[in-house]
Structure 1
Amino acid sequence: MSGTQAPLVFITGASSGIGQALAARYYRAGYRLALSARRTSEIEAWALEQGIDRGRLQIYGADVAQVDSIVAAGQSCIARQGLPDVVIANAGISVGMDTAQRDDLGVMAQTFAINNLGLAATFHPFVAPMRERGGGRLVGIGSVAAIRGLPGHGAYCASKAGVVSFCESLRCELRASGVKVVTVCPGYVDTPLTQGNRYGMPFLLQPSEFAERAYRVIEAGRSYRVIPWQMGVVAKVLRLLPDTLYDRAVQGRGRKKRRGEQ
């Protein structure tokens, strides 16, 4: 299909990493692309390098940490390209924190602003029209880190646990409407978000492999999935461990780098 007949996907955080890989996968599937990021020049460069048909691409500059900014991008998408079939709230940050450090409370506030409020604001313009249409998919990108807290990851783990709970609430709200809410929780994916981590990253996936698996989950309308599945098994085992055993298991584990750390 071409033009306005082709399905449409709206993706935030599309300038790099998982967002960019998802954009490439959906483009190969014949979708039109509505890509949003602060760094629009990086999307432009990627589109040129990939030979993306500009008739199937619109770029929206937006900061998900600013509610009015990302809501306006969603509204502009509807006005220019129509109501998307799939909306993927992918934009997110991961920064280490130490609660004893005053500046790191600001890191936590920014993390929640992007990873949680930004996700809800991304969905906001599309919920009512999708409900009226009787269909669509709203996709929240969580993390396996949502399942148990990790040392030095207080802001990130809490925010991603919030993503999982928020998407579950929204899924229940929209269940009778025909709108699917999908929660995808990546394990470790080789992106700028994970590069430089000071600990082992089992079952590490390349962004393209993650995007392929996530695409299949989203298209099937699954409610929740950890990718890769092996990481989901590990996470469930860790969730079942008594706190004393879990605390001992993560003692001495490398902490996520704080802002400004080399």
Structure 2
Amino acid sequence: MSLENLNGSLETSFQNTIATVQFGHPASNSFPRELLDRLTAEINSLSRNKEVSVIVLKSEGDRVFCSGASFDELLLVENEEQGTEFFSGFAHLLNAMRNCNKLIIGRVQGKAVGGGVGIISACDYVFATPQSDVKLSELAIGIGPFVIEPAVSRKIGKTAMTQMTLAAHEWKSADWAFQKGLFSVLCETGDLDNAVENFAKKLSSYNPEALQEMKKIIWEGTEQWESILIERANITGKLVLSDFSRNALLQFKK
């Protein structure tokens, strides 16, 4: 496998004022730290781009939107500093999406686990398909969805987040996620791209200054995330070193 495949892929295309960002990784669109950093940098860059008014975030393939953190990299963590550094990657990405002055539309074509659910939660509007089941499996591998919890709870509420977290072995259906507010629109797979494209075009036709002001209002009250998400990364970085977590990760890999 080439180095490019190991690190995953990230591509951005432009159509008028709409930027479409597509990420991918051969391991079910999981995120090694390097790919997380690239996506974070791209979101920050697009936020500064005055020619862009709307961002569409999507992933490769047709079965899995995102399977969260790279298990291979998690197994390489040897100390708390490395653990905090790895999980802070998700913290930086969620904060970049939160701080981005462009509205972000999520295109979710399939299942999402862990950090993938966090990324969906940080989108401002999300289109998904009936195949887009979701799961927070972190407790099953000895950690918890600590970094992404503020984003998930903000979108679906503390009660629904708790249901997902404690039932770490259980997939929640796309319809459940739609009913809880994680997804804005649920449409058939064949209609997904047209629905996303039409909505993005309509949104991009609005006053860009109004869109930016609306983004600020949508994310009011989250300023403390700059520090909270890093603190949560530290908690996760410690837990991933436990014997429980190590054994569980090895079993999941098998």
TM-score range, shorter chain: 0.3 to 0.5
Query: Between Structure 1 and Structure 2, whose CA radius of gyration is higher?
Result: 1
TM-score by length of 2: 0.33
